[in-house]
Amino acid sequence: MTRWRDGRAMLLLPVALLLRWPHSSLELQCGQKMNTSEKSEVLEIIGGVPANIRDFPWQIRILENGSHLCGGSILSEWWILTAAHCFKSKNASTLEVTHGEENLDTQNLTKIKVDKLIIHNYFDSWFYLNDIALLLLKSPLSLGVRKVPICLSEVTAIERWRNCWVSGWGTTVPQRSTETGLQKVNIQLIKWETCFELMPLLTKSMLCAGDLEGGKDACQVVAGIPGFCLACRCILLLSASIFNNGDSGGPLVCQKKTRKSKWYQLGIVSWGVGCGQKKQPGVYTQVSSYLSWIETKTKLSKRPYKHEPDSGYSLLLSPWAILVLYFLMFLLSP
């Protein structure tokens, strides 16, 4: 009888260890912590409010020769996710990232140089296809309260997401200069079919978010033009007239309806027809379309990144699955 009880105790010990391990390890790796009200006042970004970096601890900014270039997000201590269109005629030697501060005017910012710039091989600067890039840092980020990786997900069905936000240092009013303070705006995901009717250049690797009534958006405008017709877009892109207002490359993040304690990056700020205009939502690179690309490129660079499974745990490490398994073993033990 004693040996039988000891045997069951040995079975239950791994349960306790494995249940604790995912919560103490995987739970703290990404998507924590963002204490943002779901209700947003109509103020700036377009239509956003000033943000604290503790609300968006995965947000970083990319500098070129010391000047703000684009936004980005922390994937790991080594990797930054951003938009490819930020880096036309740029090279890694002129790039740095800063993190942990929401204000561009903060003195003595910690800067980390970029070791490698990886732009998607099939990025199309005319139509912003495959608008995604990775930055490998020369030295690792020191992760903490103000520097937290964002989670990635394979889930594409927009009905499974809630409470979506986009953040950045872009202009708060079209045709004005970049803001010095980090801004945030609460926006809605828009069905691909609905957005395609409004913006026929949309592809399946893009997603739309914003407010169809206008007034809320990340800002990426064509130089000197607050809005432009879709038919004109190709000509304007051909003339390389895109004017980057600072939000580009930044993250669009949401919570799962079934998992409200964690945040996932669904999109990368890519392009739009003007800023915050009615029936002209912002267009984002859909990150879920590029998970294999991200993992392949990071592995080739000897700093492999692997996103968490959608549940937040791998099947073998699911605490409830482990609990059920060991409970059955306990019952079936002789």
The catalytic site residues sit at 85, 131, 248
- Torsions phi, psi of 66, nearest 5? 85, -5
Give the per-residue SS3 of 240-309. Answer: CCEECCCCCCCEEEEEECCEEEEEEEEEEEEECCCCCCCCCCEEEEEHHHHHHHHHHHHHHCCCCCCCCC
User: Which CA distances in Å does 101 have to 60, 139, 325?
Assistant: 9, 19, 46
Structure tokens at 306: 């692997």
* Separation of alpha carbons 84 and 275, rounded Å: 20
* Separation of alpha carbons 163 and 139, rounded Å: 33
- Torsions phi, psi of 217, nearest 5? -175, 155
One-letter identity of residue 230: L
Contact assessment for residue 269 and residue 128, using Cβ atoms and an 8 Å cutoff: no
* Separation of alpha carbons 185 and 59, rounded Å: 14
